Amino acid sequence: MKDQINRLARGEFVYETPKLTISIVDIEASIQAGSTYCHEFKIVGSSEIKGVVYSNDYRVTVDNSNFIGVENLIKYTVDLVGVEPSEIIDGQFDIISNADEISIPYSFKVIEKEIETSMGKVHNLFHFANMAQMASEEAQKLFVSKNFPEVFLKNDLNLLNIYESLNKGENIRNNIEEFLIAIHKKSFISLSLSEPKKIYKTFTENYKDVVVIRKHTWGYIELNIASDSEFIKLSLNENNLNSEIFTGNKFELEYLLDKSKMHHGKNFGRIIITSTYQELIYEIEVNNYSIGIVDEKSIDKEINMKEKKRAIYELSRKYIDFRAKRIDVKSWIDESNHILDRIRSIADKDIYFRLVQAQIYFTQQKIDTAQWLLDSVKDEILQQKAENVTIYCYYLYVNSLIKKDTQYSQEILKTVKKYYENGHDEWQLLWIMFYIDEEYDKNQSIKLARIKEQFHKGYKSPILYLEASNIINAQPMLLRVLNDFELQVINFACKYNIINEKLAQQICEICKNEKSRSKTFLRILNRVYNIYNNDQMLNVLCTNLIRNEISGPNVFEIYEQSILKNFRITKLYEFYMDSIDESKMKIFPKMVLLYFAYNNQLDYDKKAFLYANIITNKEKEKDTYSSYRKQIELFAIDQIRRGRINENLIIIYKDIWDKSILNKETAETISKILFTYKLTCHNDKIKFVIVKHKELLKEIKIPFVKHVAYIQMYTENCSIVFEDEFKVRKKDSISFEIKRLFEDMSLVNLVYDENNYDLGLLQYFCEGNRKYQKHSMGYLKMQNYLNHSNEVTPEFKRELRNSIIHYYYLEYIGDEFEQNFPEINTENLTQTESSMLIETCIMHGMYEDAYDLTLLYGYRKVKPQRLFKLCRRMIEITDYNCNEFIIGMSEYVFLGKKYDDVVLEYLVSNFNGTTKTMLEICDACYNFNIDAHELEERLISQMIFSNSKQLQLDNVFEKYYERGAKDRIVEAYLAYNSYNYFVKEKDMNENVFKILENRMFSSDEATIVCEIALLKYYSTIKLLEEKQLIFANKLLDKLCTESKIFSFFKKFENRVTLPFYAMDKTIIEFRTNPNNKVTINYITGDKNKRVDSDKKDEYVKETMKNTFEGVFTKEFTMLYGDTLEYYFTVIANGSETSTDNKKIIYDSINTLNTNGRFDFINDMLASKELHDMATLHKLMHGYCVQDYVTGVVFKPL
């Protein structure tokens, strides 16, 4: 601009103002919050242009604000760090150039952060859920990326907490599934089977088949698929699978039915499909038969075989029930006959069943029928005796019963014994010998030995157990040890309740010193005791249970009865406590309470149960409670110090609570107690529960003990996540129960008084205060402590800081803000937070702190009335020195109508901006009576530079000139106006002419354009003053001497004496760029003779002279009646254009003076045309006289 002023002052002008073209009319863009956006636009001129670009929002900065050239690339940056989504930055770029002053509006919409993916831009959890469904691998990478929390969770503490809890799991796809379920962006995956059961009625060889598993929504799921039967072989490489096995939503599970692993007949098996959420069972039933070709006959045969086996088993059971006296003989006969009647329909010829029937007939005293039946099978038996010795011997035995012949019986004994001793030592033959050999009745020990031999051979028939039971019942002393055989026999006897009391006592005697850990041994003892309820038996049972370290609810009554019997058994009371059901707070026996009152060596958890029981029943057992009170108190205090918590301890803590217990040492544990929850999860796969507070960085991992874990939760929306043995984490897919153990929160304040730095308590109080909008200095101290803790998440710190800033801004009325201000973390503030904090600093007179914040975060959201105070103060602090930031702030408050003389004076000294704003500042200064001289000077320069509106420029210059103006500015202003007036033929303010006249009257130094402009102005005035006439004459002489003769000179005729060489001239003018070439094309004639203007070839062409700055002139000497027709041809930048034709008729006569021979000639021609002969003669005489005198006076050189 300075160069422009200097050039104008020197009289250097540019004819054509460059034309400005902007590459964009307005700018709109959507930009992600927290990012920096860089872009550009072009300013193109028709010729070289120069200027400056301003942005009226500090967040939008121009990288290269000054420009010069024909094509100028303007780069700008939008800084959205700290700006919140949904905000819109509206403003404009103001371009001030030598071509024009224009504005480009811009609008930047702040949007949420986005990530470019194969599915387009994504920025919310709905988008991510779609990606997880459609592009799983890409979603997995995104889920574990650093950008995920920032873009999708957006500082939401609850979402962040869930995400961070799950993201530490080993399986990323599982983590995504659990996360989306937890935030309700998808549902659980449910499975179903194509059918619940498959029956294979016929089966001959290995067979492959499939069952279809369907999942009913998209997502990731882990499955365990297994079979519980050997004959079902799954076509899977492993049992643990996931959703990748599905094609779409279907998986065809292939399985093989292996015939080699099946037994004959019906085979049952299951395929079990287990997921986190459900268990599906696919049942398989296969009818397998040994015959190669399966037909109805083979199926019937197999069924018959099964029915026979079933009948044999049932007949044996009925026989044992009869011998054990569980049923009488009639019932045995009736029920056995019923079985035989049923089997007869399918096996009426079976020899074994006919022999049994014969024995039944014998028992019924149907001897003839029995004999007949034996005779009917005799031949068949004899034919097959070699192949079926057992049936043959059984036939002989039944036959002996009917015959009742001793000699026959002895022969039979010899036969059976022979078979038995020669390889056919089956238990059935031994049993027959027992009933026909009297020696066995005489020597029971041998009989027992023979049965034991059979046991060790592997023959473990219940019928032999029955025989052995009868032996030891009859002779208990034969029971000397409790080895496997004896245990089996006694177990059998207990089952059928055929142990007599003497045998029971013998068993107890043996068990006193027995150290067996066999479950059978202990089960026998328990059964024996249950039969006779004998103290000795109870004592032995109890001793052996303790010896084998067995405890639990199933043996509790044994221990309790032993205590009530006052048995003195080591560790009896301890095992009693280990076995008790802790869910039932029944009153303890007196002996238990007395024992533990003086000899309490229980573990802490059992002690806790004991004491909790006593407290629970203290209204019923007041004396017991009183005697234990001191023990309970000491125990409670010790457990508090150790930091232990469980359900029973809570009962104790509640009971013994006293303020004296609370101190620095116990406060931390008591704090935990108050916020403890009992969490129960019955899923055996889950090993740990993980609790993460949304406020804290660290998670707490707690193992389950017997499906129970005790956790602490201090605030709402804690994330509870479960982890299995493979470190896979689950959340809402796991069912659990949770119960708060301590409901009375009245102690919290007391605990806090003793422990001000407990993170859990601080979280609790802060959440409560924020929730219910309760603020105080104490609350602020809590927040400040959390803000400086390394254990607190950055997101929660931001929330705390936001709460603190709001409190100070809206509620605080104290005078400690300046003292507390350093505690506030001022990094990464949002626009709202920064503006509130800036205003708070201003309200408390902390101007330099407020200014530092505005440097970091700007001031757009700060209220102008408060920012005005800061602005005023910073102007004074910086002693009015130029500071771009303070200048911008001053402009902002000024435009917000908040200013005073300090702000205005500062703007006057330093501000540069749009002409509009500078004019407004000037107007404000005029209202405040402030000298705006500096600003006016810059404004005038700028307006001249950018060719601003003339009226505004004149008004400013008038004020500026009145207060004393710089010569250079005045000279440039006058030259600028004079140029526009004369060359561009624009109007000029009357006051400018006065200034111009005064300066030229007082000084000879003036640019020629100013002289021409003033002279032209004089030509428009009808009555010039004498000094003006003198000055005009002077200027005319000067210009004519310099051959600068213009058409307006004619207006001075009859007022001043024109130089002779200008008097008779007609001047034709054409204005264009001085760089162009101008040709005048003309033809002359007489007004009485018509000229053919269409004959262009008759036109004379002459190049016009650039007389002054693009004012091209051509002089013509014309007499009265002459005509001149002409047009112009202009060559600019290689192209030629022509103007329309114009015509001049010279018919004017100077009636006032006749100053030369040309005037005489013109007057004579006019008189002749008017037929005024007298005047003509007079003019002719005058012309001759003047011509003669001229010839005499002026001699040619």
Closest CA to 317 of 117, 495, 111, 167: 495
For residues 1100 and 1116, what is the distance between their CA atoms, to the nearest angstrom? 13
Whether 56 and 143 share a structural domain: no
For 1018, counting Cβ atoms within 10 Å of its Cβ (0-12 exposed, 13-18 middle, 19+ buried), the class is: buried
Closest CA to 141 of 186, 189, 175, 181: 175
**Structural domain of residue 24, as residue ranges?**
18-111
pLDDT at 751: 86
Three-state DSSP state, 47: strand
Structure confidence at residue 517 as a pLDDT band (50, 70, 90): low
The CATH number of the domain holding residue 55 is: 2.60.40.10
For residues 759-766, average pLDDT: 90
Checking if the pLDDT of 1152 tops 60, the result is no
Share of the chain above pLDDT 90, in %: 53
pLDDT at 752: 86
Whether 107 and 121 share a structural domain: no
The CATH number of the domain holding residue 1068 is: 2.60.40.2140
Structure confidence at residue 1089 as a pLDDT band (50, 70, 90): low
Residues 6+ apart with CB under 8 A from 706: none
Residues 6+ apart with CB under 8 A from 324: 466, 496, 497, 498
pLDDT at 292: 44
Closest CA to 186 of 151, 143, 219, 140: 219
Checking if the pLDDT of 973 tops 60, the result is yes
Q: What is the DSSP letter of 188?
A: P
pLDDT for 140-173, tens place per residue?
Answer: 999 999 999 989 998 899 999 999 999 998 899 9
Closest CA to 223 of 179, 279, 182: 279
For residues 779 and 761, what is the distance between their CA atoms, to the nearest angstrom? 12
Residue 701 covered by a domain: yes
For residues 222 and 238, what is the distance between their CA atoms, to the nearest angstrom? 12
Closest CA to 196 of 281, 322, 94: 281
Whether 173 and 207 share a structural domain: no
Structure confidence at residue 516 as a pLDDT band (50, 70, 90): low
pLDDT at 734: 92
pLDDT at 202: 79
Span of 96-105, 363-372, 501-510, 691-700 with lowest mean pLDDT: 501-510
The CA radius of gyration of the chain, in Å to the nearest whole number, is 61
- SS3 for 238-290 is CCEEEHHHCECCEEEEEEEECHHHCCCEEEEEEEEEECCCCEEEEEEEEEECC
Whether 670 and 748 share a structural domain: yes
Structure confidence at residue 777 as a pLDDT band (50, 70, 90): low
The CATH number of the domain holding residue 722 is: 2.60.40
Q: What is the DSSP letter of 263?
A: P
Any idea which residue has 């309490």 for tokens?
A: 600
For residues 291 and 417, what is the distance between their CA atoms, to the nearest angstrom? 38
Q: Which of 756 and 51 is assigned the larger pLDDT? A: 51
Whether 678 and 751 share a structural domain: yes
Whether 119 and 52 share a structural domain: no
Three-state DSSP state, 438: helix
The answer to whether 873 and 847 are in contact (CB under 8 A) is yes
pLDDT at 104: 95
For residues 643 and 653, what is the distance between their CA atoms, to the nearest angstrom? 12
Checking if the pLDDT of 403 tops 60, the result is yes
Any idea which residue has 């001075």 for tokens?
A: 1052
Candidate ranges 241-255, 346-360, 897-911, 1074-1088; pick with highest mean pLDDT: 897-911
Any idea which residue has 């006032």 for tokens?
A: 1152
Whether 196 and 172 share a structural domain: no
Span of 528-537, 652-661, 1146-1155 with lowest mean pLDDT: 1146-1155
Residue 218 covered by a domain: yes
In sign, the C-alpha dihedral spanning 487, 488, 492, 495 is positive
Whether 733 and 779 share a structural domain: no
Residues 6+ apart with CB under 8 A from 369: 361
For residues 602 and 578, what is the distance between their CA atoms, to the nearest angstrom? 9
For residues 741 and 677, what is the distance between their CA atoms, to the nearest angstrom? 6
Checking if the pLDDT of 678 tops 60, the result is yes
For residues 806 and 837, what is the distance between their CA atoms, to the nearest angstrom? 8
Long-range contacts of residues 429-433, Cβ cutoff 8 Å, at least 24 apart: 429/389, 429/390, 429/393, 430/454, 430/464, 431/463, 431/464, 431/467, 432/393, 432/394, 432/396, 432/397
The answer to whether 228 and 269 are in contact (CB under 8 A) is yes
pLDDT at 213: 94
Residue 893 covered by a domain: no
For residues 1098 and 583, what is the distance between their CA atoms, to the nearest angstrom? 131
Span of 34-43, 282-291, 838-847 with lowest mean pLDDT: 282-291
Structure confidence at residue 74 as a pLDDT band (50, 70, 90): very high
Share of the chain above pLDDT 70, in %: 94
Whether 33 and 94 share a structural domain: yes
Residue 986 covered by a domain: no
Checking if the pLDDT of 884 tops 60, the result is yes
The CATH number of the domain holding residue 247 is: 2.60.40.2310
User: How many domains are contained in the chain?
Assistant: 6
Six-digit token pair at 76? Answer: 């700008």
For residues 668-675, average pLDDT: 89
Side-chain-side CA neighbours of residue 779 (13 Å):
21
Six-digit token pair at 338? Answer: 């019923």
Structure confidence at residue 625 as a pLDDT band (50, 70, 90): very high
For residues 1180 and 391, what is the distance between their CA atoms, to the nearest angstrom? 186
Checking if the pLDDT of 1190 tops 90, the result is no
pLDDT for 262-313, tens place per residue?
Answer: 988 889 999 999 988 789 999 999 988 754 444 555 556 666 788 888 899 9
Closest CA to 361 of 391, 306, 399: 399
pLDDT at 770: 73
What number of residues does the chain have? Answer: 1197
Residue 789 covered by a domain: yes
Residues 6+ apart with CB under 8 A from 124: 112, 152
Residue 269 covered by a domain: yes
Closest CA to 8 of 889, 1110, 940: 940
pLDDT for 238-275, tens place per residue?
Answer: 778 888 889 889 999 999 999 999 988 889 999 999 98
The answer to whether 793 and 694 are in contact (CB under 8 A) is yes
Checking if the pLDDT of 1196 tops 70, the result is no
Rounded-to-10 torsion of CA 538, 544, 550, 556: 10
* Summary count for the chain: helices (H), strands (E): 47, 33
Checking if the pLDDT of 772 tops 80, the result is no
For residues 682 and 704, what is the distance between their CA atoms, to the nearest angstrom? 10
pLDDT for 558-601, tens place per residue?
Answer: 999 999 999 999 999 999 999 998 888 888 899 988 888 887 88
The answer to whether 847 and 820 are in contact (CB under 8 A) is no
Structure confidence at residue 911 as a pLDDT band (50, 70, 90): very high
Q: Phi and psi for 226 in degrees, rounded to 5?
A: -150, 160
Six-digit token pair at 242? Answer: 């996931």
Domain boundary among 137, 162, 183: 183
Alpha helices in 229-328 (DSSP H): 296-323
Residues 6+ apart with CB under 8 A from 575: 545, 546, 551, 559
| 3-state helix, strand and coil shares in percent for the chain, rounded to the nearest 5 | 50, 20, 30
Residue 246 covered by a domain: yes
Residue 124 covered by a domain: yes
The answer to whether 648 and 605 are in contact (CB under 8 A) is yes
What are the residues facing 1081 on neighbouring strands?
Answer: 1101, 1127
What are the residues facing 1196 on neighbouring strands?
Answer: none
Residues 6+ apart with CB under 8 A from 899: 868, 890, 893, 924
For residues 295 and 302, what is the distance between their CA atoms, to the nearest angstrom? 11
pLDDT at 1193: 65
Structure confidence at residue 328 as a pLDDT band (50, 70, 90): very high
pLDDT at 704: 95
Domain boundary among 183, 208, 241: 183
Structure confidence at residue 63 as a pLDDT band (50, 70, 90): very high
Whether 754 and 825 share a structural domain: no
Domain boundary among 133, 162, 183: 183
On average, the pLDDT of the chain sits at 88
pLDDT for 998-1056, tens place per residue?
Answer: 988 888 678 999 999 999 999 999 888 999 999 999 999 999 988 899 999 988 887 88
The answer to whether 973 and 940 are in contact (CB under 8 A) is yes
For residues 884 and 890, what is the distance between their CA atoms, to the nearest angstrom? 10
Kindly write down the DSSP assignment for every residue of 452-501, as one continuous string.
Answer: HHHHHHT---HHHHHHHHHHHHH-GGG-----HHHHHHHHHHHHTT---H
Whether 101 and 133 share a structural domain: no
Whether 246 and 208 share a structural domain: yes
Six-digit token pair at 1162? Answer: 């013109």
The answer to whether 226 and 271 are in contact (CB under 8 A) is yes
